[in-house]
Amino acid sequence: MLAHLASKEGIVAVNNIMGRDDTIDYSVVPAAVFTSPEIASVGLREHQAAEKGISYRTGHFQFRALAKAHAMGEISGFIKIISEESSDRILGAHIIGPHASDLIHEAALAMKAGLTVKDIAGTIHAHPTLAEGLMEAAEDVHEEAIHVPKK
C-alpha cells in the first residue's frame, strides 16, 4: 500500500462518515520508488492502453539532454508520456531519473485536470530545471521537441 494513498483514503472515509460525498480517482495516484535513480509513475503503461483498445502516442525525453541534470551530475534516466491519440489527453507518465518522485506530480495534476500534452508543451518551464524534461516529452508526442533527435 502507498502511504500517501492510505492517508487520502482515511480522509475520504471520515468525510463520507460526516455525510460528505467524497471519492478517490484511483487512476491518477502517483507511485514512487526511492532508489538511485528514482522511479515514478502515474496512470497507464503502454501495454495497459493497448489492452483497453486505446490508440495512443508516446513522447520520450532523456535526462542527458537537460542542462540541470548535467549541473547535478545525474544525467541517467528518461521521461515518457503516454497520450490518447484522438484527444491528446494524458493517460500516463513514467520517469526514471533524479527527483522523479517530485516531477511526477505535474503529470498527475495534468491528468486529474483533464489536460493534454499540448497544455503541458505550451506551458513555459523555467530553465535550467528538470521539469523541462516533462515539457520536452510532451512536445515529443507530436515530434515538436527541439532537444530530441527526429524519429
Question: Quick one: how far is CA 90 from the chain centroid?
Answer: 8
**How far apart (Å, rounded) are the C-alpha atoms in residues 115 and 96?**
22
Main-chain phi, psi angles of 91, to 5 degrees: -100, -25
The three cell numbers locating residue 66: 537537460
Selecting among 70, 105, 127, 142, the annotated active-site residue is: 127
Of residues 12, 76, 85, 10, the one with CA closest to residue 38: 76
Active site residue 127: yes
| Active-site amino acid positions | 127
